[in-house]
Amino acid sequence: MTDNDPNASIAAAQAVLDAVPFHDQVLRPRVVAVDPRAGSLDVALDPNPALRRSREDGALHGGVVASLIDLAAYNAVALHKSAATPTLDLRIDYLRPAVAPLVARARMVRAGRRTATVDVTVVDAAGVTVALGRGSFMILEG
């Protein structure tokens, strides 16, 4: 992606997310910032009671946070490389209960010819870090 218009970049990144039914119909993430050249992407997740870990608790299920980290990291690489980038490895540190709204901030650490590494910080509405993730991704050029 080489577009210099930030709104066009956000729209393009959102279209990539919306093409996946799980994202579009269940998680409903929103791209709020993107820099394809730097390999960075910020994705917001709004409150949704269906994603909570229990009826009594406002915190999100850990799998939701993991999915948010994975989709933010994957798309940061995919937009930077203009290629499919399946996940090779994903590590997550849950630091505290995650209550939406959340923002996942994906930043590419390294992008080689065949693999890329991305760090993701997930923050809540108060800016408190609730989870950290690191993913490795294969770069499929073709």
| pLDDT in the model for residue 142 | 59
**Cβ(87)–Cβ(135) below 8 Å:** yes
| pLDDT in the model for residue 5 | 60
| pLDDT in the model for residue 81 | 86
Residue 130 covered by a domain: yes
Helix (H, G, I), strand (E, B) or coil at 6: helix
| pLDDT in the model for residue 1 | 44
Number of C-beta neighbours around residue 89 at 10 A: 10
For 6, 15, 23, 44, the CA distances from 20, given in Å and listed in that order, are 22, 9, 5, 16
Residue 89 covered by a domain: yes
Residue 53 covered by a domain: yes
Of 76, 79, 95, 94, the residue nearest 136 (C-alpha): 76
CATH number at residue 22: 3.10.129.10
| pLDDT in the model for residue 2 | 43
Domain that holds residue 11: 6-138
For 53, 55, 123, the CA distances from 87, given in Å and listed in that order, are 25, 31, 22
Mean pLDDT by 10 residues, the chain (142 residues): 62 92 93 91 93 84 96 92 91 97 97 95 98 97 69
Of 41, 44, 42, 11, the residue nearest 27 (C-alpha): 44
For 33, 82, 90, 131, 133, the CA distances from 93, given in Å and listed in that order, are 23, 28, 10, 6, 6
Kindly report the pTM of this predicted structure: 0.90
Instruction: Count the domains in the chain.
Output: 1
Residue 1 covered by a domain: no
Q: How many Å apart are CA 105 and CA 101, to the nearest integer? A: 13
